Amino acid sequence: MDKTHEKTNADAITRLLERISSGENPKRLRREATRLMSDVHPVDIARAEQNLIKSGVSEGIVHNLSSAFMLMGMLEDHILNIKSKLPNNHILRKVIAEHDLTRCYLAELEDVTKEINKMKAITDVSLPFRKLTHIIEHLDAMEEHIEREEDIIFPMLKKHGWKALCLASQSDHVYIRIAVSDLVKLIAGFRDSEIDEFKVRLKSIAKYLCPRLREHLFQEENILYPIALELVKDKSIWDKMKVICDEIGYCGVHV
């Protein structure tokens, strides 16, 4: 990508994010963004985020603005489908497969939460409770997935100048870990809980975790991973990372 062209795109996205932040009419922004998206690249969005951070905007706000930008549907027709470009044994192909499984468990968590909240009585041998326990076990196994990103993929990205982007993702990991831990504790303390208290707590955690984790997965697949693939063209580097990832293990495989 031409450096001047890349800078122009990043500057245009930076201005658009600033206008989203100011509360400008979203319909007008959507029209302008649609025109811009025909030539946008994940690296452009990442550079725009860095521009805002350098101007003094907090990383949390920048992350939210970038999410709003994408979740408005502006990238729907332009998402880089990296899955189709990767061999089946590539580390990122496996990571994305874990993302897909996680999305399935999030949908099941929402369904079983609704089911439990309609029940007048529930025991730890009830089918909905056993389903909930199974889902939480898989979500808890995401720790291996997070460790792989933080210990292997993120250091490589930071080395190439994308520290802010990785820190935003690591910040998400903190809150995701806390929410999953809260679910584990909720299940562990079920027998000592009042049913109404249990239902309220479960609903609260699920309402927080599900949208936040979905947004996080979207960010990684459409910003972080495409950048990683663009930065590292050497297959031997990915092969070395895969060896370490294989040693850590893959979530959901042995739960």
In the chain the domains, ranked by start, together with CATH numbers, are 3-74 (no CATH), 83-248 (1.20.120.520)
| Per-residue pLDDT tens digits for 20-76 | 778 777 667 777 777 776 677 778 888 888 888 889 888 777 776 776 666 555 454
CA quadruple 57, 58, 62, 64: dihedral sign = negative
Do 70 and 222 contact (CB within 8 A), yes or no?
yes
Report the distance separating Cα 179 and Cα 143, nearest Å. Answer: 12
Average pLDDT over residues 193-216: 94
The Cβ of residue 228 has, within 10 Å, a number of other Cβ atoms equal to 22
CA atoms within 13 A on the CB side of 163: 4
Q: What is the pLDDT of residue 193?
A: 86
